[in-house]
Chain A
Amino acid sequence: MATFTRRNAWMNGGTFANLDLFWYAKGVESMQALALDDPNSWWFFAAIHGQYVSLTEFPGWGFIAAPPQVPTSPVPSQVLIDQYWDQCQHQSWFFPPWHRGYLYALEAQIRTAIANLGGPADWALPYWNYFGLDDQYKIPPAFTSRTLPDGAPNPLFVSQRLGPKGDGDIYVEIPPASEACLSNTLFTGSNATTAPPGFGGPSTGFSNNGVTSGNLESNPHNLVHVDVGGFAPDQSSWGLMSDPGLAALDPVFYLHHANIDRLWAAWNGQGNNNPTNPNWLGGPAAIGQRAFAVPMPDAVAWVFTPSDVNSLSQMDYTYDDLAISINTLAPSALSRRLIFLGVSPMADVPLGAGSANQQNSELLGANEGALQIRSSGSRTTVKLESQVRSQVTRSLLGASLENLPDRVYLQVEDVRGSIDAYKLNVSVNQEPVGTVSLFGLRRASDRDGAHGGAGLNFILDITDIIDRIFMADALVADTLDVKIEPNHPVQEKATITVGRVSIYRQTQR
């Protein structure tokens, strides 16, 4: 039986009448009163996720507009920095478990602070379910009030929280943010219901930043970050939530991640399994890399692995609501697809048909040269290779339950730039195929960063579009038209480049 229950932040209208939020504010205030070099402080915890403490211009922490007044000293010892800072796991299968452990430690810190103030001993971190009914797509009002009920400054208020239009109106744009990833059935890998690299992310080592986000991370996680953080209209700065090196300074960060953690638990609740690979269960330490470590109250470190946080049943908390709003038991996507392709309707196509590891990906087409994203959007022509296109056509012609047709993915490769606060809307032949968030772009583009400036990759499922083209004209086209449009103007210093736009077929045998 769980000791603590994380509840919806929008209870009691998302105001301080919701005591979970009131006490959260008091706990944040207590942690913010501690120094940067104190492992129990708000600032130290933010730096565990990612930090720009020493940068000499924005996004350096010394250049963040108050509130909060972010300290840049005293800097902790190198031993502590090496053990704790810059640890967040992104574009990795460690994204869900690392953030679960991180939230667990932060929650314990806040609960201790609340208890010291005479607050409830069973306080638990609230979550922001932006997919909830009515106004829940908006940030709970407790985060936008400048004062607490007693008139004191509200520690949940952040001045550099700018929203999707950059005007201070904070909400999540739905769509494109969605819970569609909950219909996935594979944590890592792909099948008929799971686009690569899988619900939880690709197999990696320690990945403070990486290349390709998992499906939960990509949407909703990355989109929500950039929506909430936003950008300044003059692009001189951007919202804290828009950048991994700033994000955990914003108190709403933890409510967003509590919701991501809840979605992971809900996904498991549908019968979907986490990896059993020892290299996932044992974390990066299993391959000799940096271990996950977070400070618990009273100056003790919790060194944890994904196996320690593998399911809520292992933890001492739960959520008040683990129901999911999308119907994953509706006729499977594969069944609908086979019917669309003219295969006789069948009673039951198993969800997740198609195995995870036997699939082969093969390049089907690509554009020529790198592409610079302009404010008005950029177009490119993806040329299809005739032999590979014929293989796709044959696969679609011969589709059956025994010979599952190819799936087709658009890959936007090697995206580089210096500002994360963008979303890119991608369309193929004028049909929208998805929106991606550039959360993590800055770090992924650093040539001396962990991935040598490889940039970000985005994989978008365009199987439906290819099916429609096939049914309309038997896929005779030599090219596809791809358009990539930013959600707000790109200024010169925010150059965004795409290395290549390509299309892949993936066999399903």
Chain B
Amino acid sequence: MMLNGGEHNRITLIVLLISLGAWLLPPVGGTTFPAQLANWSLMVLAMMTPNLIAPVCHICARSFRHLRAHLVALFCLGYSVVWIATGSLLLSAADVMACHQAPAGPAIPQASLAAGLVLVLLWQCSPLKQLCLNRAHSAPNLEAFGVAAYTSAIRMGLTRGLWCTLTCWPLMALPLLSPHGHHVLMAVITLVVIGERLDPPEPLKWKLRIPTSLMKWILGQTRTWLQQPIEGQLLPPTVHHIGTYRIF
């Protein structure tokens, strides 16, 4: 069974507000590892929470009403654990490369950023990336009662977190490598990540993967919103030569 429209909208609103809150919060000062990890967590909260609307709806639709909040919390815990662990690894790696500390010599960050960009591009085109994207769409069976319900929610969080991390880690590492423009880079990457999730799973292959779904969705909805209600049209319908599309 599905959630009704009102429930779905409420969940969407709450998740987006949490994301917005994270965007607006100032970063933690200092360059200590805990401070960096806190800022990493804030960044993940801002960028990744919009992708949690579908799994949270899945949990709510398939659980007892009085357990929903607990199960969603456990799911988020599992999801966060994976991201924080990933953050620790990436921050340590960035420390080694000594490129996250400002001010640093300009050559190192630029070289690191260039290497990061190449890595991201390779990863974005790879079948492995598609595999991770496909698995990140999965909605597992959930147990309904007792301890099994709690453990299945945590397991779902861990699994989802793992596939999301594998899907996005090169993209998420980019702001760490970039000496300037973190927020702009974060915003662009957020749109890319959301766009990727809107694309349905696909067979695994090398492909220049440009997520256009979000932009198309916005354009399509804008056009639909601007249009007058479509009245019945008489046949013969408009025909177009093969190979041409009516855009939206």
Contacts and interface: CB of A to CB of B under 8 A. Distances in A.
Contact of A504 (B1, B5, B217, B218): B1
B200 A451 contact: yes
B245 A388 contact: no
Given A300-B241, A499-B141, A288 B235 contact: no
Considering residues A79, A202, A449, which has the most beta carbons from chain B within 10 angstroms of its beta carbon?
A449
B101 to A, nearest CB: 40
Contacts of A450: 200-201
Contacts of B216: 287-289
A314 B233 contact: yes
B230 A305 contact: yes
Nearest to A293: B245
Per DSSP, chain A at the interface is mixed
B64 A452 contact: no
Interface string A286-312: 111101010110011111110110110
Chain B contact patch, size range: 35 or more
A100 B6 CA distance: 32
B61 interface: yes
Interface residues of A, number: 71
B32 interface: no
Interface string A261-303: 0000000000000001011011001111101010110011111
A358 interface: yes
Contacts of A299: 241-242
A191 interface: no
Nearest to B146: A368
Interface stretch (B78-86, B113-121, B166-174, B220-228): B220-228
B141 A414 contact: yes
B14 interface: no
B76 to A, nearest CB: 20
A448 B203 contact: yes
Interface string B131-161: 1001101111111110010000000000000
Contacts of B61: 361
A308 B237 CA distance: 7
Contact of A287 (B1, B131, B217): B217
A13 B183 CA distance: 73
B248 A300 contact: no
A157 to B, nearest CB: 31
Interface string A42-83: 000000000000000000000000000000000000011001
A365 B62 CA distance: 10
Contacts of B239: 296, 300-302
B233 A308 contact: yes
Considering residues A315, A383, A451, which has the most beta carbons from chain B within 10 angstroms of its beta carbon?
A451
Interface string B42-84: 0000000000000000000111111000000000000000000
B95 interface: no
Given A300-B241, A368-B143, A448 B4 contact: no
A301 B237 CA distance: 10
A162 interface: no
A196 B235 CA distance: 33
A450 B224 CA distance: 25
A500 interface: yes
Contacts of B5: 357
A43 B220 CA distance: 32
B29 interface: no
Nearest to B143: A368
A313 B220 contact: no
A459 B1 CA distance: 8
A409 interface: yes
Contacts of A365: 144
Nearest to B5: A357
A242 interface: no
A387 B66 CA distance: 9
Nearest to B201: A452
A411 B145 contact: no
Contacts of B135: 447, 452
Given A361-B61, A452-B138, A409 B233 contact: no
A295 B241 CA distance: 9
B114 to A, nearest CB: 32
A360 interface: yes
B153 to A, nearest CB: 14
Nearest to B130: A448
A314 B232 contact: yes
A96 interface: no
Given A278-B227, A307-B230, A451 B137 contact: yes
Contacts of A206: 200
Nearest to B236: A316
A362 interface: yes
Given A288-B248, A413-B62, 15 more contacts: A39-B242, A206-B200, A278-B225, A282-B230, A285-B246, A286-B223, A288-B212, A293-B245, A301-B240, A301-B242, A303-B240, A357-B5, A363-B63, A388-B64, A452-B139
User: Which 9 A/B pairs are nearest by Cβ-Cβ distance?
Assistant: A288-B216, A452-B137, A366-B144, A499-B141, A288-B220, A361-B1, A307-B230, A288-B217, A303-B246
